Structure 1
Amino acid sequence: MDQVLRGSLITRHVKCGKPTCHCATGVGHASLYLSSFYHGKTQMDYVPVIWEQWVRTGLENYEVAQDILSELTELNLELLRRRDNG
């Protein structure tokens, strides 16, 4: 697990401002952002297309890590409940 990221991928559609561009009357240019919450603030970081898979893998790895921690917690709680009180 080389990369681990917490957050969500968000697609934003923005108009570039050029009056002759297709986005002036359409949906806008799609850009990918990583939305994350750190130090009490939501942060939006632009994700270039070449980094998209890296970010997706990091988000998936975070979920795997969370699952592992949940399983370890359950096992440790079970051990605590079965402890020898003697």
Structure 2
Amino acid sequence: MTARPDRASRLRLTLKSLLAECQQQLHQLLPLRQLVKGSVYELQTRCGKPSCHCASDQGPLHTSIVLSWSEKGRTRLQTLPPGERAHLRQLTENYRRFRQARAALVKLQRRMLATLDQLEKTLRLPPPKPASRRRRR
């Protein structure tokens, strides 16, 4: 019987630790004010003109910075003007950090629930046995 209080104490400490981890994740989530789903990257393409420098195998390709995102199951691309690139790169990074923190919170919540279930099993006592009744004659 002495193992039960010790186990309950360990489970309580685990819950406190998980709660602290949740708070860390929330501190990463809450300051974010704007998010854009997608990625900003450099796209390299060939234009298709036979006389262009990109037509040869060794020639440099045309480059542009694009925002890529998924919409209704399709990938969309939008070329970004130079003035918007840094801002949109930051917003897509915010989205990535938000989703990572959210996923970590989901895992932590599952671990917390499993720990709470274990704590309940540890603390739960069996129902009391009924008092013996005498039969009257």
How many pairs were matched up?
81
CA contact (8 A) 2:36 2:95 kept: yes
Contact 1:14 1:28 (8 Å CA) reproduced: yes
TM normalised by structure 1 equals 0.72
SS at match of 1:54: helix
Gapped regions of structure 2 (runs ≥ 5)? 1-31, 54-58, 125-137
Paired position in structure 1 for 2:91 = 58
Q: For residues 3-82 of structure 1, what are the structure 2 equivalents within 5 Å?
A: 3-12=34-43, 13=45, 15=47, 24-25=52-53, 27=60, 29-82=62-115
Higher relative contact order (CA 8 A, sep 6+): 2
Alignment partner of 1:66: what SS? helix
Change (3 A) 1:28 1:74: closer
Which structure is higher in strand share? 1
Cα–Cα, structure 1 residues 14 and 3, in superposed 2: closer, same or farther, change >3 Å? farther
The amino acid of 2:78's aligned partner reads: D
Check whether the contact 1:10–1:34 (CA below 8 A) recurs between aligned residues. yes
User: CA RMSD of the aligned region, Å?
Assistant: 2.4
Q: C-alpha deviations, 1:31-55, integer Å up to 9, x for none?
A: 2111111111110011111000111
Name the one with the larger helix percent: 2
If you compute each CA radius of gyration, which structure gives the higher value, 1 or 2?
A: 2
CA displacement at 1:27 relative to structure 2: 2.8
Distance 1:67 1:35 in 2: 19
| Contact 1:10-1:32 within 8 A present in 2 as well | yes
How far apart are 1:82 and its partner, in Å?
A: 1.9
